[in-house]
Amino acid sequence: MNKQVAGVLALFISAAAYGDVSVIDTHVSKEPLMFEVTIENEAPKAVARGYIAARFITPGREVPWVESWEQSYSVPGGIEHGEVYTLELAAPPEIADIRDYEVAAEVFFFSAFSMDRAPLNDDAEFVVAELERHRLESEALQAELDELMENAK
């Protein structure tokens, strides 16, 4: 579901559910160079912030234009339950000069969090679990270091 419009490079991905908050559409404009991500919130809480990762490709070409593009985002006023919102982000500059090729965005990671930092979709839950895992590893390493320092006295 990709299309090229005169002077505008349009990018679309298929609707993909990531829990209660999902990306339902993407689009890139060339002037200004902007990446738009349309988000639908079916979570019980408003979306306040999150993180998105995408790659920019041309179907049939082996090498992506941009392999990994990542942005954190915040949503002034939030996205309330039942709302659809188009988030506007600066697109990667590497795609600014692509003229003769169809370009598509593949969103491969999209996290959404409420104002109180509660995860609102599967990717956000993964982030929380990873942060907790790293915290526990750090605490265990600190405890080992403390013990080594105590034994060295």
Q: Using the predicted structure, report yes or no on whether residue 14 has a pLDDT greater than 70.
A: no
Note the pLDDT of residue 19.
60
Q: Using the predicted structure, report yes or no on whether residue 12 has a pLDDT greater than 60.
A: no
Q: Which of the pair, 90 or 12, is modelled with greater confidence? A: 90
The rounded distance, in Å, linking the Cα atoms of 62 and 72 is 27
pLDDT tens-digit profile of 112-137? 999 998 888 888 787 777 777 888 88
Residue that is written with structure tokens 């982000």 in the block: 89
pLDDT tens-digit profile of 70-117? 998 999 999 999 999 999 998 899 998 888 887 778 888 888 999 998
pLDDT tens-digit profile of 55-75? 988 889 999 999 999 998 999
Count of alpha carbons within 13 angstroms of residue 7, beta-carbon side: 2
**Which residues of the chain form beta strands (DSSP E)?**
3-5, 8-10, 16-18, 21-30, 33-41, 47-57, 66-79, 84-90, 104-113
Count of CB atoms within 10 A of residue 98's CB?
15
Q: Using the predicted structure, report yes or no on whether residue 42 has a pLDDT greater than 80.
A: yes
